Amino acid sequence: MINFDALQTALGMVFALDTILWMIVGIAVGVGVGAMPGLQSSTAVALMLPLTFNMEVAPALGLLIGLYKGSVYGGSISAISFATPGAPEAAATVADGYKLMQRGKGKKALHMALYASVTADFLSDLITIFLAPALALVALKFGPSERAWVLILAITLIGALSGRRLAKGMFSAALGLYIGTMGSDPIGLVPRNTFGLWWMRDGVPLPPLVIGIFAMSMVLQELMKPAVVAVARDKASKLADVLLSKSEGLKLREYLSCWKEMMIGLGVGSFVGVLPGLGATVGAFLSYAVAKQVSPHKGIGNGALEGVAAAEAGNNATVGPTLVPLIAFGIPGSATAALLGGALILQGVTPSPRMFDLFPHIIYALFIILLLGNIANLAVGRAFASVYARIGEIPRAYLVPLIGAMAVLGTYAYQQNPYHIFIMLACGLIGLMFRYLSIPAAPLVITFMVAPLAEANLRKAVLISGGDWFHTLFNSPLSIGLAVACVMSVLAAIRFKMNENAMITDRDDE
């Protein structure tokens, strides 16, 4: 089963000085790029791709995988430090991470994010390695109607994200659904709901939306607050404090106490990762929602390390499984998988089902680099965390303009499309309105992402079955099972909400 000769060759390829060095370079650059909102892992990978043209296969893979892993962690750094998700998948981390930062526990939060990411990533890579062919077969069972049900299931879970007042969370979700229909009709491909603007044709892209709702709304709220005239001496001494202070890192006990959230993240993330088209953002939010539902007493959402752990684990557990379709069928399941596939092709290795027979040493090298990248990420990431942990202590008059400029630039940098700035600012105003009316933003983001996919799958399924909605929705045992799961999820959410309200009333009575 395991080809030991190939394994030995692979080990020799990976544990070479240049491979390790390129991997570290990749991670360091990746963390830096990932921490900039708007710049995503795929941008980083694409920018460095030409460097790999003249490399051997192992250093090339080391560099690209390092870049990828580093930038995924970088996204959560800016989510925690600036409340600005560096990448959409880090948006679920903002709620708890930034609150911890404000309480001076930034380093703890950054470490938790790093450890949860690495743990989930490592375990999901192992799952991928051992179960890739089996997982691929499971993924094939999911046709358009099954996928539509999975997506509907995801929507039913957002009740847990809706905060104290269910109606407010549901309004947020409904507005997300509405924004998700902007763009074109998935069947006729004609524009709809674009307000007659030609540049809205592809709809609202996720990064400007996330930057607007989470970061820009915060900047706008800060601008609304009356300026506090600080004494100059005070500020100088505070800056010095920031530079000299030492904040506390994460304790082993705290890491271990989040095992449950990390396992939830691993399970949810791996499942979401295998299905094509969903990706890390859905993984992060779903895992966060499930963790919140499972442990309502832990205060997830109010600055709990468990919240950071669940979101980050859910996000990173999708990394390994998105490679499953690439390895099993030669079809990339995500943008990054496509880039890695491209790098492999450049090296003369075409991803295909026969890759295991033709190039076993390269597959093994890929797997070993995937695992090793996690460990290197841990080392590099810790160094970055100590630097970034202090950012939360910078005085507001310096921090607010910086976040504002980063949000504007990040939006532009995402695709160098100037029109995205309008989308981002509009989302910032919606986010500001949400802040003042205390409406949670997380449901909006998740329904915005999920709804267009659900609609496209549903309508494709109906088209395939010839217009019969009932048979479309319940065409296989899997569909029926998923439908039952949706109903149960809704019932569980209602019970959870009632318990929570009872708890709030109890507290009010005391």
Smaller CB separation from other proteins, 263 or 406: 406
Residue 39 tokens read as: 């710049």
Residue 82 and residue 394: Cα distance in Å, rounded?
11
Rounded to the nearest whole angstrom, what is the least distance from the CB of residue 239 to other proteins in the complex? 11
Q: How far is the CB of 267 from other proteins (least distance, A)?
A: 22
Of 168 and 238, the one with the shorter C-beta distance to other proteins is 168
Q: Which residue in 15, 130, 199, 259 binds other proteins (CB under 8 A)?
A: 199
Return the closest-CA partner of residue 310 out of 165, 125, 490, 115. Answer: 115
238 touching other proteins, by CB under 8 A: no
Alpha helices in 142-231 (DSSP H): 144-156, 166-180, 206-210, 217-224
Q: Which is nearer to other proteins, 191 or 301 (CB)?
A: 191
Q: What are phi and psi of 56, to 5 degrees?
A: -70, 170
For other proteins, the closer of residues 278 and 304 by Cβ is 278
Exposed / middle / buried, residue 229 (Cβ in 10 Å: 0-12, 13-18, 19+): exposed
Instruction: Return the number of the residue (57 or 264) whose C-beta is nearest other proteins.
Output: 57
CB of 119 to other proteins, least distance (A): 28
Partners of 302 in beta bridges? none
Long-range contacts of 488-497 (CB under 8 A, 24+ apart): 489/153, 489/156, 489/157, 490/156, 490/159, 492/293, 493/156, 493/157, 493/159, 493/160, 493/293, 494/159, 496/159, 496/160, 496/293, 496/296, 497/159, 497/166
Residues between 389 and 448 that touch other proteins (CB under 8 A): 396-398, 400-402, 404-406, 408-409, 411-413, 415-422, 425, 432-433, 435-438
Site for other proteins in 262-291 (CB under 8 A): 276-277
Which of these ranges, 74-82, 100-108, 117-125, 228-236, lies near other proteins under the rule CB under 8 A? Answer: 228-236
Contact 339, 305 (CB under 8 A): no
Residue in 7, 192, 242, 483 binding other proteins, rule: CB under 8 A:
192
CB of 490 to other proteins, least distance (A): 15
d(CA 51, CA 202): 31
CB of 144: closest distance to other proteins in angstroms? 6
Identify which of residues 38 and 265 has a Cβ nearer to other proteins in the complex: 38
CB 260, min distance to other proteins, A: 31
Q: Are 316 and 124 in contact (CB under 8 A)?
A: yes
Among 18, 133, 134, 230, binds other proteins (CB under 8 A): 230
Identify the DSSP state of 211. Answer: I
Question: Which residues in the 94-123 window bind other proteins by CB under 8 A?
Answer: none
Q: 457-484: string of b/e by CB count within 10 Å (b at 16+)? A: bbbbbbeebeeeeeebbebeebbeebbe
Q: How many residues bind other proteins (CB under 8 A)?
A: 121
Residues within window 142-181 making contact with other proteins, judged by CB under 8 A: 142-144, 164-168, 170-171, 173-175, 177-178, 180-181
Which two structure tokens, joined as six digits, stand for 430?
């919606």
- The minimum distance between CB 339 and other proteins, in angstroms, equals 5
Minimum Å gap between C-beta 404 and other proteins is: 5
Q: Are 158 and 488 in contact (CB under 8 A)?
A: no
- Our CB check for other proteins shows the closer of 105 and 460 to be 460
Residue pair 66/379 in contact by the 8 Å Cβ criterion:
no
Distance CA 110, CA 79 (A): 10
Provide, rounded to whole angstroms, the least separation between the CB of residue 360 and other proteins: 18
Q: CA torsion 238→242→246→248, rounded to 10°?
A: 100
**Interacting residues with other proteins between 354 and 393 (CB under 8 A):** none
Which residue from 428, 122, 223 is spatially nearest to 420, judged by alpha carbons? 428
* Segment near other proteins (CB under 8 A); pick from 12-20, 85-93, 134-142, 258-266: 134-142
Are 176 and 212 a contacting pair, CB within 8 Å? no
Asked if residue 196 binds other proteins (CB under 8 A), the reply is yes
Q: Which is nearer to other proteins, 123 or 442 (CB)?
A: 442
Nearer to other proteins, 224 or 379 (CB): 224
Check binding of 503 to other proteins (CB under 8 A).
no
In the range 24-83, which residues lie near other proteins by CB under 8 A? 33, 36, 39, 42-43, 45-47, 49-50, 53
- In angstroms, the CA 424 to CA 222 distance is 17
Q: Which of 1, 2, 226, 509 binds other proteins (CB under 8 A)?
A: 226
Choose which of 16, 131, 242, 335 interacts with other proteins (CB under 8 A).
335
